[in-house]
Amino acid sequence: MFRIISQDKKTEARTGEIATTHGKILTPAFMPVATMGAAKTLSSEELEEMDYKLILANAFHLYLKPGLKIIKKFGGLHNFMNWNQGLLTDSGGYQIFSLKNTKVTEEGVNFRSSLDGSSHFFSPEVSIKVQEILGADIIMAFDECLGYPVECKRAKESMERSMRWAIRSKKAHRNNKQFLFGIVQGSTDKDLRRTSLERLEEIGFPGYGIGSLSIGEPEEMMFEIVDSLIPLMPENKPRYLMGLGKPSQLLEMIKKGVDLFDSSFPTRIARNGSCLTHQGKIIIRDSKFKNDTAPIDENCSCPVCRNYTRAYIRHLFNVGEVLALRLASYHNLFYLNHLTKEARKAIAENNFSSFYSLTKEALKG
């Protein structure tokens, strides 16, 4: 499933390849979030145009709407959304535990739909079944997700339950064409994280996610937890840090040896008028761009930067044109994909340390 192609000699950064039934994914790679089966404001064709090979969809939301019956009728989510590349679905755990009035037992979670108030039940077995019907190439074990901060006792109880649910997730997994990843939990406690990883390795998964980070804890704390985990993680399996999408953080985690990332960050900030550039984030609504004839990023080759000016995009935002959201979202996702491509190139050329330093410095603006 996964092979390492090159390893940087000065850092833990590495390039690799994940082979799926829908093609090969070069790592490190960032995944756009297509929660409901689409990256906000963008089409599947546009994501392919940007050269994305792997995107993330949400099992929980798609289970609620349009529902499994409809997606099953189309032969899976790939066909339903006309996506011909790799697809990863998360288990729904994070979304379910974000809801109010959930009832958690050893069996699973009872909750009410945020759409119509109807009652539902998710368990490791239900989550795996849902993800198998969706037909993703990579699926995730069902786990309990905590916020930050959390007491040590609660973190331990949650981690232990997630490990028991990981065993059940694996037992429920039947489709050998789908790769089931385990998820490391344990909040901000390094010992709990280490124990979680050891348990997951005993169960045996082809890849590992690192969950419940980038949820409000200090950035340095997140870095320290990843630093404590990476040396213990199998070298021959992909490492996926869930929910991370800021350029400077991606660079840091690539340097530490992480392979996969996802986040709604680039499209979320785009809808608020924030654009990612090689010199850091800019607020395109700012009055200083009123007469600016430059593109969003003069070092970017995306269609948005080739064809439109900052002044024009600012105007679109100020008059409420939907096109503004599309252009900013397209650019931000193109930028992040380009960033990971450049990182892979630097690693392959054993030049990542220099690339990392120069890029981080430039991002400061």
Domain boundaries, the chain: 2-263, 264-365
**pLDDT recorded at residue 93:** 84
Q: Which two tokens stand for residue 73?
A: 């009728």
331 annotated as a binding-site residue: yes
**pLDDT recorded at residue 276:** 99
How many angstroms separate the most distant Cα atoms in the chain? Answer: 61
**pLDDT recorded at residue 365:** 73
**8, 90, 137, 297: which one is catalytic?**
90
What is the crossing angle of helices 190-203 and 152-172, to 10°? 10
94 annotated as a binding-site residue: yes
357 annotated as a binding-site residue: no
**pLDDT recorded at residue 96:** 84
Residue 162 near residue 183, CB atoms below 8 Å? yes
Helix (H) or strand (E) holding 35: none
**pLDDT recorded at residue 171:** 99
Specify the pairing of strand 274-275 against strand 282-283: antiparallel
Catalytic, 90? Answer yes
Which residues of the chain are modeled with pLDDT < 50? none
SS (H, E, C) 287-322: HHHCCCCCCCCCCCCCHHHHHCCHHHHHHHHHCCCH
* Exposure letters 262-298 (e unless 16+ CB within 10 A, then b): bbbbbbebbbebbbbbbeeebebeeeebeebeebbbe
Q: Which CATH number does 2-263 carry?
A: 3.20.20.105
145 annotated as a binding-site residue: no
Query: Cα 126 vs. chain centroid, distance in angstroms?
Result: 22
Cβ-proximal residues to 74 (8 Å cutoff; 6+ apart), any chain: 80
**pLDDT recorded at residue 343:** 99
Helix (H) or strand (E) holding 205: none
**pLDDT recorded at residue 328:** 99
**8, 137, 259, 262: which one is catalytic?**
262
275 annotated as a binding-site residue: no
Q: How many CB atoms lie within 10 A of CB 83?
A: 23
Q: Taking the complete model, does pTM exceed 0.85, yes or no?
A: yes
Q: What digits encode the pLDDT tens for the residues 245-266?
A: 999 999 999 999 999 999 999 9
